[in-house]
Amino acid sequence: MRVLVVGSGGREHALCWAIAASPLCDKLYCAPGNPGIAASAECVPLAAEDTASLIAFAVSQKIDFVVVGPEGPLVAGLVDKLNAAGIKAFGPNASAARIEGSKGFMKDLLSANKIPTAWYARFTDAKAAKDYVRAKGAPIVVKADGLAAGKGVILCQSLGEAEAAIDSMINDKVFGVAGLELVIEEFMLGEEVSYFALVDGTSVLPFGTAQDHKAVGDGDKGPNTGGMGAYSPAPIVDKAMDERILREIIHPTVRGMAAAGAPFKGILFAGLMICKDGPKVIEFNARFGDPECQTLMMRLKSDILPALIATADGQLATFDLRWKDEVCIVVVMAAKGYPGNYIKGTLIEGLDDAARVEGAFVFHAGTKADTKDGKPIITAHGGRVLGIAATGKTVSEAKRIAYQAVDKVRWPEGFCRRDIGWRAIAREKSNG
C-alpha cells in the first residue's frame, strides 16, 4: 500500500517511523517532512496547507491512504477533499474537526451532553465580556475561539489582565478572526493529562495517556509552549480513572458528535484536568499531540497502520492493540528564545552520538538538511527542533537515558528543560 503522511514536526516523524515499520506499507511519502523523516519516508516539498497540490500529488502517485498530522489542514477540510477525490484518509472531516477548530462549538457540545468541563460563556462584544469577568471575578481564563497556534489561551490572575486580554483579542485583533469571538471560562485547578482514543465515528479504542510540560522553563515556569517534553503513560490515570474518563467524557463526546451530524473519525485527544471532583475537559484536539505522539509510538507494540485504516473504515469495534510494558519520555530541544523570537540556521552536531545511546531515539522537528564545505550538516529551522525520546522500566530510568542522549547533542543555540518527568518521578519515589 502507498501511504502519504502530511506534516513536518516531531509528531509526523514518529508517525512515519511507525508506519514505515508496517509490512502493509510498500511506499511512504511525507509532505513536506523533515531530515529525520527522510530516513523513513520520501519527503516531497509540498506544504501541509497546500491542499490543491497535496490532492494532485495523491492522485498522480496513486496514494492509497493519507495520514494527516496537524490540525490546520483538518480544519480546512483536507480529509473531505481527499475523500471526494476517492482517497482514503486518517483524520476527521472539517465538520468534526470543529471540536478543535472552534472552542465555542466544543464547549456547546460538552454543555449539551452534560460532559464535565469548566463553566463558560461566549462573547463577540468586548463590553459584555468585561461585564462577565467582573461578575465572575479572577482568576479566570480568556480564550480565542479559533486556532491561534497554541497562543490563544490567556490565564488571567486579575481582572485587569482579563480586561486587557479581551481588548487585545476583540479590539486589537492580535489573533485576527480567530479572536473575534471569545470563550471566557472557569480557571480549573488540578493535574493535567493528555488522553488519546482512536474513534471510527462510533467505536472507541483507547490509545494511551501522557503528560506534557507546557511551560518553557524548569519548575513549570515561564510562558506556555507547544510542549517541552512528555512521558507516557500518565500515572494519575489508573484503571478506575481510565474507566471514568471513558464513561463520563470520551463516550458521551463521541455520541454527541454523531448526534450533532459530525461523527468523529480519527484520533480524539482530550486535554483533561484531573480535579478534586473528577476529570474535566480543558479542550479537545482532533489530532495526535506533539510531543505526546512520540511517546505513544515508542510504546506501541502493534502495527499502527491497520489501526489507522480501521479508524478510517469505521471498523474499530473488533480491533485491539498491544503495548510494550515500558514507559517512554521525550525531551524537546528548542532554539533559545522560543516561544518568543529565535534565530534560524544554527549548526547542530552530535545527533549520531545521541542516536547511538542504547534505548534512545532522536525525533526531528524544526531541522533542515544543508551542506557546509561539501559535507552534509543539520541546522535548526524552527522553535521546537528535536525530541529526544527514551524508554525504560520507570520514568526515572527513561529520563536518565534521554538526558544522556540530550547531552551528546552539541548545539550552543539550543536549550531544553532539565526536569521532564518530575511529577511521575516524585510519584515513583513516594511509592518506593
Q: Based on the shown chain and the rule CB under 6 A, indicate whether residue 181 belongs to the binding site for ligand AMP.
A: no
Q: Which residues contact 167 (CB under 8 A, 6 or more apart)?
A: 126
In whole angstroms, the minimum distance from the beta carbon of 6 to ligand AMP comes to 22
| 292 interacts with, out of ligand AMP, ligand GLY, none, CB within 5 to 8 A per kind | ligand GLY
Element housing 310 (H / E): helix 304-313
Of the two residues 283 and 310, which places its CB atom closer to ligand GLY in the complex?
283
Grid cell listed for 255 = 455520541
244-283: which residues touch ligand AMP (CB under 6 A)? Answer: 271, 282-283
DSSP state of 384: E
In whole angstroms, the minimum distance from the beta carbon of 141 to ligand AMP comes to 4
Binding site for ligand GLY (CB under 6 A): 212, 226-227, 285, 289-290, 292
Q: Which residues contact 422 (CB under 8 A, 6 or more apart)?
A: none
CA separation for the pair 216, 228 (Å, rounded): 6
SS (H, E, C) 319-349: CCCCECCCEEEEEEEEECCCCCCCCCCCEEE
The CA dihedral of 197, 201, 204, 208, to the nearest 10 degrees, is -10
| 68 interacts with, out of ligand GLY, ligand AMP, none, CB within 5 to 8 A per kind | none
Grid cell listed for 209 = 495517556
| 187 interacts with, out of ligand AMP, ligand GLY, none, CB within 5 to 8 A per kind | ligand AMP
In whole angstroms, the minimum distance from the beta carbon of 132 to ligand GLY comes to 27
Give how far the C-alpha of residue 213 lies from the chain's centroid of Cα atoms, to the nearest Å.
12
| 153 interacts with, out of ligand GLY, ligand AMP, none, CB within 5 to 8 A per kind | ligand AMP
Q: How large is the angle between the packed helices 292-299 and 10-20, nearest 10 degrees?
A: 20
In whole angstroms, the minimum distance from the beta carbon of 302 to ligand AMP comes to 29
Of the two residues 181 and 290, which places its CB atom closer to ligand GLY in the complex?
290
In whole angstroms, the minimum distance from the beta carbon of 188 to ligand AMP comes to 4
Residues at the contact surface with ligand AMP, assessed by CB under 6 A: 118, 141, 150, 153, 155, 185-188, 192, 214, 224, 271, 282-283
